Amino acid sequence: MKIAIQGILGSNHHIVANSYFGEGNELLLCHSFESVVQKLLSDQADMGVMAIENSLAGSIIPNYALLYDHNLKVIGEYYQEISHHLMAKEGQRIQDIVEVHSHPMALLQCTNFFKKYPKIKLVEAADTALVAQQIHENNQLGIAAIAPGLAANLYELETLATDIQNLKTNSTRFLIVTKEQGELDTENTNKASLRFLTEHKRGSLAAILNMMSDCRLNLTKIQSLPVIDTPWKYAFFVDVTFDDYAYFQKALALIELMAEDAQVLGVYSDHLKQIQD
């Protein structure tokens, strides 16, 4: 199987791809989420792995638009515990580090740690593991990376500090996406992602949410995004879980009547419930 991921080997997307699909698949390394989408649309990749939200930093808003704009289908999800480690060339100490480079979200999640080192400059980069690779290839001294532990192993770096994220309970939700939903196994699906619009009328969104509750759906996520070609109009992306696929079918039929432009982005298995069980 060919799997497109954002980032390079050693990234969290790499870890998730191996955890979800198993090792041995061909990974297509992409420098952006847009590139992941293009790999899918051009049939160069069978599946894509796309981060969608983090428990500390919140939603990755542009990725919701990518899902809808390109009619991608969500066929799975994976919650990955995120551990940020500080790494550099061997033989250095934290006191030797002048700059730390990493993805903006990783930097944001480690702010408390660097309050102890005010002289270190934090520099945004495209990818966590990419910085680790560059330090290794360019033999850079005085520069450290924040990246997963796998990157330190792959790029022969020394770990200066482990688990430096602000909160130890830090996890990211990743979506498994493809061009087609494929045949649906309704016996083993209990979660769905949808997008819809509501009228500019008092209580229109509340009416839909109340209906979902009446149909025994549990709302686990709601995210609004502006509709680009209609100023001050908003689309709602929602995730719901259910105990019986028939409950979802009933609710979907009512959503299509009550909302505008209702679309199912995917039906899949709730990974968080699997973890908790």
Contacts of 47 (CB under 8 A, 6+ apart): 1, 2, 3, 4, 21, 40, 75, 176, 177, 178
Q: What is the pLDDT of residue 71?
A: 95
Contacts of 104 (CB under 8 A, 6+ apart): 124
Q: Mean pLDDT score of the chain, rounded to an integer? A: 94
DSSP letter string, 163-200? --SS-SS-EEEEEEEES---S--GGG--EEEEEEE--S
CATH of domain 85-161: 3.40.190.10
Quick one: average pLDDT of 19-45?
96
- Token digits of residue 10: 């050693």
| 222 band by pLDDT with thresholds 50, 70 and 90 | very high
Contact between 180 and 219 (Cβ < 8 Å): no
Measured CA to CA, the distance from residue 40 to residue 47 in angstroms comes to 7
Q: Does residue 276 register a pLDDT over 90?
A: no
Quick one: average pLDDT of 194-209?
92
Q: What is the pLDDT of residue 57?
A: 78
- Domain coordinates in residue numbering, the chain: 2-82+170-178, 85-161, 189-267
Q: How many CA atoms within 13 Å lie on the side-chain side of 168?
A: 2
Q: What is the pLDDT of residue 179?
A: 94
- What whole-number percentage of the chain has pLDDT above 90? 83
Q: What is the pLDDT of residue 140?
A: 96
For 239: left if phi > 0, alpha if psi spans -120 to 50, otherwise beta; the answer is beta
Q: What is the pLDDT of residues 145-200, one digit of tens each?
A: 999 999 999 999 999 999 999 988 889 999 999 998 888 888 889 999 999 999 88
pTM for this predicted structure: 0.90
Four-way CATH pick for 2-82+170-178: 3.30.1780.10, 3.30.460.80, 3.40.190.10, 3.40.470.10: 3.40.190.10
Q: What is the pLDDT of residue 181?
A: 82
Measured CA to CA, the distance from residue 49 to residue 54 in angstroms comes to 15
Q: What is the pLDDT of residue 170?
A: 85
Q: What is the pLDDT of residue 232?
A: 82
Q: What is the pLDDT of residue 180?
A: 87
CATH of domain 189-267: 3.30.70.260
Q: What is the pLDDT of residues 85-123, one digit of tens each?
A: 999 999 999 999 999 999 888 998 899 999 999 999 999
Q: What is the pLDDT of residues 253-267, one digit of tens each?
A: 999 999 999 999 999
SS3 of 132, please? helix
Domains 2-82+170-178 and 85-161 share a fold: yes
